[in-house]
Amino acid sequence: MCVRYVVMNGGENLPKITISGHPGSGTSTLVKGICQSKGWSSLNGGDIFRQEAKKRGLSLPEFEKICSEDESVDKSLDEILKNHILDKDGFDVLESRLCGWWAYNLEVNCVRLWLHASEEARAERVVMREGLPFDVAIFNNKQRTAVDKLRFEEMYGLNPEDETPYTHIIDASNLNAEEVLNQVLEVLEAIE
């Protein structure tokens, strides 16, 4: 575990933690574990996306197409996420690929975690979750990562893998969900 310590301000600012990582890295499982252990609330950036698609009466693929053609839609969704990050009475845990960057840029004093996992580990998790063949999972993950990286660089000049905004980086490649959760709970207990 690579850890850079920052001084927290007694938990006065919410969120308490942002969690970012590539698809299949285990971020959703980690968020669920934190919330069950601590009794905290959470928001997944994907939920904002799904809610907006539903509000517009669109399927997820239809809404994804609109977002790919009009970056102002993605930017408006990111503004919603930023507002949640700044809400002191909001969610305790926020999860999205860029929420660590947003908290950093907004100078929100919280744990900003990047959950790293190797391409192979992420593909294995996708295989277990979705039943895809391993080579298809590897290909899909690589393609999605490359598309997202390009999109984030074009829209914001940000690379999600840049370690700058993260206070803590955990390599989950060879850890099970419980081991990852225990490491994160240790981090959180150290700052409470």
pLDDT for residue 10 is more than 80 = no
pLDDT, tens digit, 9 for 90 and up, residues 91-124: 999 999 999 999 999 999 999 999 999 999 999 9
pLDDT, tens digit, 9 for 90 and up, residues 55-64: 999 987 788 8
pLDDT, tens digit, 9 for 90 and up, residues 140-164: 889 888 888 888 999 999 988 899 9
Omega before residue 160 within 30° of 0, cis: no
Higher pLDDT, 72 or 3: 72
Q: What is the pTM of this model?
A: 0.86
Q: What is the pLDDT of residue 25?
A: 92
Domain 14-183 has CATH 3.90.1300.10: no
Burial of 3 (0-12, 13-18, 19+ CB in 10 A): middle
166-185 mean pLDDT: 96
Higher pLDDT, 116 or 65: 116
Where exactly are the structural domains of the chain? 14-183
Average pLDDT taken over every residue of the chain: 88
